[in-house]
Every structure is written in structure tokens, then in C-alpha cells.
Structure 1
Amino acid sequence: MTPEALAALDRVRAIALALPRADERLSHGSPGFFITKGKFFAYFWHNHHGDGMTCVHVKTSGREEQAMLVEMDPDFYFIPPYLGSSGWIGLRLDQPDTDWADTDWDRVADRVRMSWEMVAPRGLLEQVDER
């Protein structure tokens, strides 16, 4: 993995693991983030099957949201292989013709958080809302 991709993984890891009861484990050879004893809410992929991309995949509300995001910013959002048919969206961390330092980490954090909220059990969401 390149130094830039490792730095991106560190940023994604920090964002994901800051969420309540978040944990990490390898899934099909890539880091995946999930709620302990629960579902995955994000995956980090680097050059997956030689695609040359560094990205994070998160859940969406479904196909309409996927289409809206891709239409809004096709250089950043894409429908990922394997996960796309289940409503996931890819976020490119290495956008073409853009410096890695220009990655919009606030937007990445927002999407990771929204994905976490989609899979979090109701009781956990209520605990977070009480804070």
C-alpha cells in the first residue's frame, strides 16, 4: 500500500472507530468497520482486484440515493462492485487529477456516520441521542 493510501486508511479508521461500539476486522482481505456484534457500516479498499482506486464504501438508503450522489459528483461517488447492488456507495479518496490533501474528509466523515446510523440498533441510537 502506498504511503498516501496508508494515511487515508488511518483517517478512515479514526473516523469509523470514533463511533460508538465500532470495531474493525478484515473482510475479504480489506479493513471493514462494524458495530460490535452487529453489521458492517464501512469498508476501506485499496487497489481492489487491481482497480487502482483507494476508496471507502458506505451504506445509502438505496438506489435513488446512489443515483443522486453519483449524478451530483461522479468524480467522488461511484457504485462499487459487489456492494453496489445492495445499496452501498463508493467514495474515492484518490480522485483523478486531485491532490490527496484535497480529500474532503468532512464529507467522508459525514457519510461514514450516516452509514453507521443506518445499521446501529435502536437502543444504541437512543443512547447517542441522549448525549
Structure 2
Amino acid sequence: MADGFSAIYERLKQAVQELPDIVETTSYGTPALKAGKKLLTRVKDAETAVVMCPVDEKEMLLQAAPDIYFETDHYKGWPALLVRMNAVSDDELRHRLERTWLTQVPKTKARAWLVEREKASSR
């Protein structure tokens, strides 16, 4: 794995470390993380990650934070967002991947995780 790829992949893994059932794999020949069998994120290149994202939310993010999020023609109309890894904070990356995870897992698993997280934060 190229050095830039390794650094990005390590940040992605760090961002999802508190999420259950994360699977390390590859997608299109690059390191990737899945929630079970569903793609959460993958390394696109030495500066960019692909994060799955509902299209309506994607449009909002593209307008709200164009310095962080972007798309190429290849991704137009698809529920995937490109992330400039040198521009995204660790907190924003973790938040984005948590939101993605919540859309990719069964609703019962998502609800259970949210309840547990709420309990842990109120202790």
C-alpha cells in the first residue's frame, strides 16, 4: 500500500473504531471499510477518501463545505461523496462515518447502537 494510502486508511480506521461490525476489505483495489457487507468508505487516492452518503445529504454537504467535500463526474447522481482528507478534521470524519454507518446497517442495529451511545454519554 502506498504511504499516502496507508495514512488515509489509518485515519478512516481510527474514525470508525467505536462502531461495531466493521470489516476491513478492499474495493476497486484500494483499502476499504464495510459495515457487514455494505461499503462505508474506501481510499480513492493518496489524498482522497470515498464515503457513502445519501444523495440528498450529499448535495447539502457539497454546498455547505466545498473545501472538504466534492465530487467528480463519475460520482454525480451516486450516493458517494469524495472527501479531501487534508481538509477534514478527525471529528468531522468520525461524524460523517457514523452517519454513513447508521444508513448502512439494519435499523434495529442502528437504534441499539444509538441507545448504547446515549447511555454511555450520560454516565
TM range (shorter): 0.7 to 0.9
Post-superposition offset of 1:86? 1.8
SS of residue in 1 equivalent to 2:81: strand
Post-superposition offset of 1:80? 4.4
SS of residue in 1 equivalent to 2:20: coil
Q: CA RMSD in A?
A: 2.1
Matched, 1:42 2:77: no
Which residue matches 2:115?
130
What amino acid is aligned across from residue 9 of structure 1 in structure 2?
A: Y
How many residue pairs are counted as aligned between the two chains?
Answer: 115
Mark the runs of 5 or more structure 2 residues left unpaired by the alignment.
117-123
Which residue matches 1:28?
28
58, 61, 66: which one aligns with 2:54: 61
**TM-score normalised to structure 1 length:** 0.74
109, 117, 129: which one aligns with 2:94: 109
**TM-score normalised to structure 2 length:** 0.78
Mark the runs of 5 or more structure 1 residues left unpaired by the alignment.
48-53, 96-102
Seen in structure 2, the aligned counterparts of structure 1 residues 82 and 17 have a Cα distance that, compared at 3 Å, is farther
Identity rate of aligned residues, in percent?
A: 19
Matched, 1:87 2:71: no
